[in-house]
Structure 1
Amino acid sequence: MDRDRPIGVFDSGVGGLSILRALRAELPGEDFVYFSDAGHAPYGEKGEEFVSNRSLAIAVDLLEQHRIKGLVVACNTATAAAVHLLRARHTHLPVVGVEPALKPAASLTKTRHVAVLATRGTLSSAKFKALQDSLREHAQFSLVPCDGLAAAIEADDGPQVRALCLRYTRDVCCFGTKPGEIDTLVLGCTHYPFAAEVFRELLGPDVQLVETGEPVARQTRRLLEGQALLNPSGSGAVRFHTSGDPGALRTAAARWLSL
């Protein structure tokens, strides 16, 4: 496979731009194709079969139309529903998924109490439950399904984003660094890092925010290196495609990636 080919990245909307941001920082010589499935968003409030079918269709399109050399599933819900199917169907293709950063959070927390904000689709998945079960001895996890937050971030609705962040952080008690308090917050949807400033304002500087972009970028590098597919001298170009509003995607990329 040609190392000059781009890496495909997809999400249900603009949330995956947080993963793309980390990928571009880790792999500045790589070219990317980013697909936003905004015409079918949000994934987190749809059924697993729907999300799986969309993920498989997008992968085929990225392979056939853009000849990608690797695929990053930049969506927690799509990873939980379909990453195993993608790997089984495209055995030649390096496929990287994302998952809420419970492992890093468990290693960071001092109070051994972590809150996880994510979509219902992610929190109800077998993949997430297995991850949580594997870490029960290391930390207590308070799970908060955040209906509507990804959509509000997608729409760039600042007042609604703030109202929902306030509502969902109040659903768990209490944040702080004292014994029994929650000192670590996992942003378990790729959209949520774009609300990080709001969370910091609400929770203060002592609560640690944990997201998944950097670990995903490092894993992508490892897989590409393993197959001799790294391109250290490319242009770093990004092509954007969407099933939704192209203007909205361009605006989001300009805002969050300076593109």
Structure 2
Amino acid sequence: MASLAPVGVFDSGVGGLSVLRDLRRLMPAEDLIYYADSAHCPYGGQPNAAIQARAVAITEELLAAGCKMIVVACNTATIAAVEHLRANYPVPFVGMEPAVKPACAMTRTGVVGVLATGAALGGEKFHRLLAQHAAGVRVITQPCPGLVECVEAGDLKGAFVDELVKRYVQPLARARADVIVLGCTHYPFLRDAIQAVAGAQVQLIDTGEAVARQARRVLEREELLNPSAADGGLEWRTSGDKAALAPIVRSLLA
């Protein structure tokens, strides 16, 4: 039965595990295959054609494994590749979108900060979001080179991480941003460090739960939701060193 097939999830590395946590919570019966493209991480700064080529290669591997749907758990890959994937492959794809709309609705100071990769911030999709939802709101965008690499190494705390977070978050706090969008799937793993710099009064939002809800809606619409009462399994793959990555994956999913 098609409903018993697994759901594929991929990211440039381990960041998409933040989305996978929400998928497991909202769709506990689904078998999941997670692909971390660690050998090519980070995607930020790479040409769109290169990112799209990786998305195609990973999609074909996940389809060969029998996946019934694929979640592109990476903002940069979504911008570069999701429309191409939808046009060329027969399964549903669910992508990421920075939470600009809810952030602009939530702000009381009229200032919203967005932490993301340079590629995500420069994409046409992001500018469409601003045009549609940010009227009357000052949106401050902040590229964050180095944060993805910290999460990939499992470094979520410490002086180096704290210094990077301060560099990127303090300008948003000084500008009175009261909502900060975590616009990369890696950044929720640094939530504590970001909150400490931003202040307790600042709301941090990401789109992991919204993506999981959308994935469930799509499976229900297509009559592909797994009917099992048992918890689904998790298989993970990587283009990098699986043995080296294993303890980081375990710690992030703990």
Please give the range of the TM-score, normalised by the shorter of the 2 chains. Answer: over 0.9
Pick from 98, 101, 114 the counterpart of residue 116 of structure 1. 114
* Aligned residue in 2 for 1:178: none
Compared with structure 1, are the counterparts of its residues 205 and 37 closer, same or farther at alpha carbon in structure 2 (3 Å cutoff)? same
One-letter code aligned to 2:3: R
* Aligned residue in 2 for 1:204: 199
Give me the whole-angstrom Cα distance separating, in 1, the residues matched to 2:210 and 2:75: 14
Q: Secondary structure at the match of 2:33?
A: strand
Q: Give the deviation of 1:251 after TM superposition.
A: 1.5
Q: Give the deviation of 1:252 after TM superposition.
A: 2.4
One-letter code aligned to 1:135: H
TM-score, normalising length: structure 1: 0.93
Pick from 226, 247, 254 the counterpart of residue 251 of structure 1. 247
* Aligned residue in 1 for 2:236: 240
Is residue 143 of structure 1 aligned with residue 141 of structure 2?
A: yes
* Aligned residue in 2 for 1:128: 126
Give me the whole-angstrom Cα distance separating, in 1, the residues matched to 2:199 and 2:143: 22
Q: Give the deviation of 1:136 after TM superposition.
A: 2.6
* Aligned residue in 1 for 2:152: 154
Alignment of 1:30-45 (within 5 A): 30-45=30-45
Give the total of aligned pairs.
251
* Aligned residue in 1 for 2:14: 14
Q: Give the deviation of 1:172 after TM superposition.
A: 3.2
* Aligned residue in 2 for 1:29: 29
Q: How big is each residue's C-alpha offset from its partner over 1:116-170, in whole Å with a ceiling of 9 and x where there is no partner?
A: 0000110111111111111231522100011111111111233322211111012
RMSD (Å), alpha carbons: 1.3
One-letter code aligned to 2:63: L
Mapped contact 2:170–2:198 kept (Cα < 8 A): no
Q: Give the deviation of 1:173 after TM superposition.
A: 4.7
One-letter code aligned to 1:224: L
Compared with structure 1, are the counterparts of its residues 173 and 197 closer, same or farther at alpha carbon in structure 2 (3 Å cutoff)? closer
Percent of paired sites with the same residue: 46
Give me the whole-angstrom Cα distance separating, in 2, the residues matched to 1:245 and 1:162: 27
* Aligned residue in 1 for 2:70: 71
Show structure 1 runs of 5+ residues with no match.
176-180
Mapped contact 1:36–1:243 kept (Cα < 8 A): yes
Q: Give the deviation of 1:78 after TM superposition.
A: 0.0
Q: Give the deviation of 1:199 after TM superposition.
A: 1.1
Give me the whole-angstrom Cα distance separating, in 2, the residues matched to 1:241 and 1:138: 44
Mapped contact 2:104–2:134 kept (Cα < 8 A): no
